[in-house]
Amino acid sequence: MFQLAVIGNPIEHSLSPQIHARFAESLGLCVNYQKLLAPLDQFESTARQFLASAQGANVTVPFKQQAFDLCDQLTPEAKLAGAVNTLWQQNDLLFGDNTDGKGLIKALDQAGFSLRGKKVVLIGAGGAARGALGPLLAEAPSELCLVNRTQSKAKALSDDFAEFSEGTRLHACSITDLSGEFDLVINASSSSLSGAPLELPANFSAKQAMDMMYSKASGETAFTRQMQALGAQTSDGLLMLINQAALSFERWCGKAPKLDQIDFSFLRGDH
Ligand code: NDP
């Protein structure tokens, strides 16, 4: 039996146990994946105690940075992201990976979107944007424009990743300076939590738009609705969530879930 968990605060809303249960079922593996609520000042003790007798744990808000700081060994993705969402212990050493960025790329790929040579906008400069940047640049878009409510953070992110941007015009700009048509806009900010649209300039549009936030009920968020009105094809973050989970599962259990053979429609609707 694989013992797994997701550690966060709050954690009640997490869909991860249901997603991992489907992975295990589809592969004929025996997995117990639980939700662990860590008190805000006790992430380290909660994680270490669980991992002493478990195969691995996911880490979610607000502990990804703390998880990064605790690790003895990090994957290149975790190092670049400065955050860890996947933990496991081996020979008394704590290992950390970040599967969010690769999960995003896989989700875009499954939605039929190729990034190579494309003009892309990334909104947000928090943990999710930082985790996405390395994997996005590795796909060689022609332009990657970083936009954030607090502009100085987008500029800092652009500076931090300049050395990985060969072949891509990586730059930060203000939301009001966005102009013309982009191939893809990704919302890696929490703006949709408020239900309010972003203040986008009138001459901005995009062919495709993805909100990392997901909506259980309809698959639509404030951002996807806003971009649909501008003519974009849209998706929420559910496919990204499933893909980052699959990468963690493979890391711990040694088998990759075959996502095209699993029906995830149960994740939509009230439950
Ligand atoms: P952080 O708290 O680290 O960053 C939040 C970001 O959102 C900041 O850039 C912040 O800007 C911006 N922001 C917050 N409120 C608003 C607003 N009202 N208008 C415009 N910008 C705003 O969060 P994360 O980066 O960890 O997560 C961001 C989103 O991505 C969340 O919705 C999360 O659920 C989602 N996510 C989805 C995943 C998936 O698998 N689908 C995986 C990881 C994250 P400022 O710097 O100005 O404060």
Q: Please write the tens of the pLDDT for every residue from 50-108.
A: 999 999 999 999 999 999 999 999 999 999 999 999 999 999 999 999 999 999 999 99
Query: Is a pLDDT exceeding 90 seen at residue 21?
Result: yes
As for how many domains the chain has, the answer is 2
CB 189 within 8 A of CB 242: no
| Ligand 1 lining (C-beta closer than 6 Å) | 100, 103, 124-129, 148-150, 153, 188-191, 194, 212-214, 237, 240-241, 244
- For ligand 1, the distance from its centroid to the CA atom of residue 2, given in whole angstroms, is 31
- For ligand 1, the distance from its centroid to the CA atom of residue 196, given in whole angstroms, is 14
Q: Say if residue 201 is in the same domain as residue 85.
A: no
Query: Is a pLDDT exceeding 60 seen at residue 37?
Result: yes
Cα dihedral sign for 217, 83, 130, 9? positive
Probe residue for ligand 1, chosen from 121, 149, 153, 176 as the CB with the greatest number of ligand atoms within 8 Å: 149
Question: Which residue's CA lies nearest to atom 3 of ligand 1?
Answer: 126
Q: Say if residue 168 is in the same domain as residue 117.
A: yes
Q: Say if residue 117 is in the same domain as residue 89.
A: no
pLDDT at residue number 7: 98
pLDDT at residue number 216: 83
Q: Say if residue 116 is in the same domain as residue 62.
A: no
Q: Say if residue 182 is in the same domain as residue 120.
A: yes
Q: Say if residue 106 is in the same domain as residue 217.
A: yes
Q: Say if residue 180 is in the same domain as residue 120.
A: yes
Cα dihedral sign for 93, 98, 102, 107? positive
* Range 140-162 average pLDDT: 97
CATH of the domain at 228: 3.40.50.720
Q: Say if residue 124 is in the same domain as residue 223.
A: yes
Residue 92's domain comprises: 2-98+244-268
CATH of the domain at 39: 3.40.50.10860
Query: Is a pLDDT exceeding 90 seen at residue 270?
Result: no
The atom number, within ligand 1, closest to the CA of 125 reads 9
Please state, rounded to an integer, the average pLDDT across all residues of the chain. 95
pLDDT at residue number 271: 52
Return the biggest CA–CA distance within the chain.
56
Output the six-digit token pair for 212: 């990392």
Q: Please write the tens of the pLDDT for every residue from 164-208.
A: 999 999 999 999 999 999 999 999 999 998 889 999 999 999 999
Q: Say if residue 118 is in the same domain as residue 15.
A: no
Q: Say if residue 226 is in the same domain as residue 249.
A: no
Q: Say if residue 65 is in the same domain as residue 137.
A: no
Probe residue for ligand 1, chosen from 102, 158, 190 as the CB with the greatest number of ligand atoms within 8 Å: 190
